[in-house]
């Protein structure tokens, strides 16, 4: 499959460059030629370049001008993402940008409009769309197999905020730079899944946030309830309160409860309960999910000349629900 060849990655002190999503490793595993990495820290840029290739830069603009890449993975502090986004659109470089793209909903919506107006190739890596649970739930909902759906739960509780310090992204605890905590950082995945699996536009009906565990400027826990036009309740629960660090573990749950069936994610696959059935549905062998699939599908789409698989508008929708939740919570 034809894909872009020459890549740059911006602001690689962002933890996703080498932790969790590990974008630099994904590019290397796909055989991509990383021609440049940038970061305001010369040390971090040099370290990433030494391990993954490319020339280190302290200015992403200089990097793009010097290397003339065919594609970019755009990372950065949340407060600086809009500037990076606008620059890459103006430079005509196709890119995937890690969410949330900004620290307020209006700015992110404006970026999505800019991409549409300029015909820019921009995608957001909402990797949860590729999970076996999400794909199966979407198919079953579309086929009406659940009957009337009561509720859907999407929970992702990650470890302590200390991991951001140890992963060289201490700015995540600074509200002026991060814009928010667990709800803005982790919440978009659940908000995107709500729209993806139901095919509806949900509205926030209630939300709570808490800073009780870490007592930081940003929240370490949030719980939002939404309702779709057809009446489905969707609960999006996120946090930095999994007490396992340095073990990088997640307290996660994905479940949909309907009139006929309950479908939930379990180790190795899915459990289907109801209508006299209690079945284990193993995840198909070789199923590719997560960030590797999100990036590969984006690069293949770009190589074919197809539109982004998850366009900029999808990030704007998710971030709108984030800030509707903050408003509901009185933040």
Residue pLDDT, tens place only, 221-274? 999 999 999 999 999 999 999 999 999 999 999 999 999 999 999 999 999 999
- CA neighbor of 131 nearest in space, from 40, 250, 6, 275: 250
Question: Across the chain, what does the average pLDDT equal?
Answer: 97
One domain for residues 150 and 73: no
One domain for residues 159 and 47: no
One domain for residues 139 and 265: yes
The answer to whether position 26 is within a domain reads: yes
pLDDT surpassing 70 at residue 49: yes
Distances (CA, A) of 200 to 89, 191, 281, 320, 331: 29, 11, 26, 15, 26
Average pLDDT over residues 155-163: 96
One domain for residues 143 and 66: no
User: 26 — phi, psi (to 5°)?
Assistant: -60, -45
The answer to whether position 180 is within a domain reads: yes
Instruction: Give me the pLDDT at residue 1, please.
Output: 62
Cα–Cα distance for residue pair 122/95, rounded to 1 Å: 5
The answer to whether position 49 is within a domain reads: yes
One domain for residues 27 and 52: yes
The answer to whether position 313 is within a domain reads: no
Name the domain count of the chain.
Answer: 2
Q: Range of 135's domain? A: 127-287+319-328
The CATH number linked to 22 is 3.40.50.720
Answering whether pTM is above 0.85, one says: yes
The answer to whether position 312 is within a domain reads: no
One domain for residues 80 and 144: no
Average pLDDT over residues 80-98: 98
- Percent of the chain topping pLDDT 90: 99
The residues facing 311 across adjacent strands are 123
Instruction: Give me the pLDDT at residue 314, please.
Output: 98
Cα–Cα distance for residue pair 260/230, rounded to 1 Å: 17
The CATH number linked to 235 is 3.30.360.10
One domain for residues 282 and 158: yes
């Amino acid at each position: 499959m034809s894909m872009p060849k020459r890549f740059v990655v911006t602001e690689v002190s962002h933890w996703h460059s080498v932790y969790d999503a590990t974008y630099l490793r994904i590019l290397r595993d796909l055989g991509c030629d990383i021609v440049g990495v940038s970061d305001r820290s010369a040390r971090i840029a040099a370290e990433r370049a030494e391990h993954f290739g490319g020339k280190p830069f302290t200015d992403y603009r200089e990097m793009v001008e010097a290397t003339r890449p065919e594609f970019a993975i755009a990372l950065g502090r949340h407060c600086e993402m809009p500037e990076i986004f606008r620059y890459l659109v103006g430079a005509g470089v196709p890119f995937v940008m890690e969410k949330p793209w900004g620290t307020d909903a209006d700015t992110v919506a404006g970026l999505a409009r800019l991409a549409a107006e300029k015909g820019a190739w921009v995608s957001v890596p909402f990797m949860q769309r590729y999970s076996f649970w999400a794909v199966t739930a979407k198919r079953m909902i579309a086929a009406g197999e659940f009957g009337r759906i009561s509720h859907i739960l999407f929970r992702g509780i990650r470890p302590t905020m200390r991991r951001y310090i140890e992963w060289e992204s201490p700015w995540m605890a600074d509200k002026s730079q991060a814009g928010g905590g667990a709800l803005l950082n982790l919440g978009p995945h659940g908000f995107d899944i709500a729209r993806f699996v139901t095919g509806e536009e949900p509205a926030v009906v209630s939300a709570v946030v808490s800073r009780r565990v870490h007592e930081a400027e940003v929240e370490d826990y949030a719980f939002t309830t939404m309702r779709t036009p057809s009446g489905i309740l969707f609960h999006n629960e996120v946090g930095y309160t999994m007490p396992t660090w340095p073990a990088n573990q997640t307290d996660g749950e994905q479940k949909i409860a309907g009139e006929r069936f309950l479908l939930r994610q379990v180790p190795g696959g899915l459990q289907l309960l109801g209508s006299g059935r209690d079945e284990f549905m193993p995840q198909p062998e070789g199923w590719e999910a997560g960030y590797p699939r999100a990036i590969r599908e984006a690069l293949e789409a770009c190589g074919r000349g197809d539109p982004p698989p998850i366009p900029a508008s999808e990030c704007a929708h998710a971030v709108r629900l984030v800030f509707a939740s903050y408003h509901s919570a009185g933040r």
